[in-house]
Structure 1
């Protein structure tokens, strides 16, 4: 082995060693979304389920329903009323939040300051007095910084808004009018790390009766400029290094969009760690080469 090669190898090992000693923990956010448009007729109901697998107790729930043909929520153009509970048998009187204000006017948002249940989340939608109301759902879970224990997350008890059709308080038929939301994991904002520096993400996925144990996780890290590239390594436990025996999937190609797909028939990949290593980026006069990335992880049924 040439002296130059030995020096290069030693230098590379030194860089990696330094990076390992400075893995940057990056906080993630979990969202539950519809992947297709939902359409309800006058007075129809539907329940959407976010599988929380008891991992998100204490977090803030920020739900939004997006009306495609009525972004200003004018009742005459068709609106929906909805509320959130933690059990499919519960009704409006048990709601943890709903989308009407104090005057009974419906809107897109429903916020629970602290989710104190260890059960799944059920978002129940009731269409107003207009046919063919089309919408999508986005539920965002955020780490809560509120101190103390919130004993009751109820916000409003009056659900009578314009265009609202009162429905039966009996339990909805889950097999007929129920849809599981798709879980995705992102990071709050673009993350910047230096050349050969490592970022570590800790992620919880929640399989459900639709995904069962036959699911796949698509893990994507992508540069947010034209200069950044990254590799990624996925571990099922710590420590998580690129050469760790805990690695269960990886893409060692330093590319601008780096994908790894994990598949399982036993549900073992519900809690994973994603190690991201920067290989190129923009030149920063102060810090040298710096890469910038975003991340998205998705849990889907393996067909």
Structure 2
């Protein structure tokens, strides 16, 4: 059976595709941090949003793209209320230390803030302040991914460290992190592009998550593979160690149903499953005469959230 191996990390910048010919091809993936509820600030109110990176050296030189969506003011008209924000890598840093902000030279605000190359092993902090209009509602979307403009040596030199990195959770319970004006963003891992997989071929994903003081050790991981072509279906199997194969004792949970949208939920109260392997098996697709097989096209996402009561 021809196997396709995809190795990914929640805090790294690419997937490694290893084909039968042993060619290694970089394919961009992203770690995303989002708000899962609408934030509303009164005039002049401040709030800090945190993306937990767990000291990830693998993120060095990656691009950070932050977007704030004003729900009632998509054109960012000042009279309707705007949000001023900037990004730092330390909660005690101020606007003068900003790695980027959403204000241009003329003082006009907008939704975007971009750090071309993240150069820190600390967490990412978004410090937001509402303008002088009451009840400004917004959501936040941050993407950290492979910077295609980097020099090749920048991308390759840390390959071993990236592939061997396993996060050890050390939540901070400082007074800052327990402040009511703090919100931790939800971590989501996605592929930047759709992937193709032949009938009964397999894809193996290796993923590292970063729990935080909000999720604590009591969290759930939702792992989802879904077809993007309207005709393919998949099964998935999750392991904590290799080998990760169908009907292998290393499988801790699976969904063997051949579904267009296949989901597995892992729950823990002990910080388990920070580092997992996800085996994806393709069960259907469009016939491709160029390869003489049925080929499915899929996407993958995984999220880490606090386990609801």
- Tell me, yes or no, whether TM beats 0.5: yes
Q: Which stretches of structure 1, 4 residues or more, deviate above 6 A after TM superposition?
A: none
Q: What is the aligned partner in structure 2 of residue 298 from structure 1?
A: 303
1:244-276 CA-partner distances (Å, limit 9, x unpaired):
443222111111111111111221211222111
Q: Secondary structure at the match of 1:280?
A: coil
Matches within 5 A, 1:139-178: 139-145=142-148, 146-147=150-151, 175-178=179-182
Check the 8 A contact 1:84/1:123 in 2, yes or no. Answer: yes
Q: Name the larger-Rg structure.
A: 1
When residues 118 and 251 of structure 1 are mapped into structure 2, their CA distance, relative to the original with a 3 A threshold, is same
Aligned residues: 264
Task: Quote the Cα distance in structure 2 between the aligned partners of 1:108 and 1:262.
Answer: 34
Check the 8 A contact 1:222/1:258 in 2, yes or no. Answer: yes
1:124-165 CA-partner distances (Å, limit 9, x unpaired):
10111111111100000102341377xxxxxxxxxxxxxxxx
* Aligned-residue offset at 1:123: 0.4
When residues 174 and 142 of structure 1 are mapped into structure 2, their CA distance, relative to the original with a 3 A threshold, is same
When residues 105 and 172 of structure 1 are mapped into structure 2, their CA distance, relative to the original with a 3 A threshold, is farther
Matches within 5 A, 1:124-135: 124-135=127-138
* Aligned-residue offset at 1:45: 0.5
Check the 8 A contact 2:81/2:131 in 1, yes or no. Answer: yes
Check the 8 A contact 1:30/1:184 in 2, yes or no. Answer: yes
TM norm structure 1: 0.82
TM norm structure 2: 0.80
Check the 8 A contact 1:80/1:128 in 2, yes or no. Answer: yes
When residues 52 and 190 of structure 1 are mapped into structure 2, their CA distance, relative to the original with a 3 A threshold, is same
- Structure 1 position 66 matched with structure 2 position 48: no
Q: What is the aligned partner in structure 1 of residue 283 from structure 2?
A: 279
Check the 8 A contact 1:234/1:248 in 2, yes or no. Answer: yes
| Farther-moved stretch of structure 1 (183-192 vs 209-218) | 183-192
Task: Quote the Cα distance in structure 1 between the aligned partners of 2:303 and 2:75.
Answer: 30
* Aligned-residue offset at 1:237: 2.8
Task: Quote the Cα distance in structure 1 between the aligned partners of 2:241 and 2:119.
Answer: 27
Task: Quote the Cα distance in structure 1 between the aligned partners of 2:223 and 2:176.
Answer: 35
Q: Secondary structure at the match of 2:50?
A: strand
Task: Quote the Cα distance in structure 2 between the aligned partners of 1:237 and 1:103.
Answer: 54
Check the 8 A contact 2:177/2:213 in 1, yes or no. Answer: no
Could you tell me which runs of 5 or more consecutive residues in structure 2 were left unpaired when the two chains were aligned.
9-14, 16-28, 155-174
Q: What is the aligned partner in structure 2 of residue 30 from structure 1?
A: 31
Task: Quote the Cα distance in structure 2 between the aligned partners of 1:60 and 1:273.
Answer: 26
1:179-231 CA-partner distances (Å, limit 9, x unpaired):
11111111112211110111222222110111111111010111123321101
Task: Quote the Cα distance in structure 1 between the aligned partners of 2:243 and 2:105.
Answer: 50
Computed over aligned residues only, the root mean square deviation of the Cα atoms, in angstroms, reads: 2.0
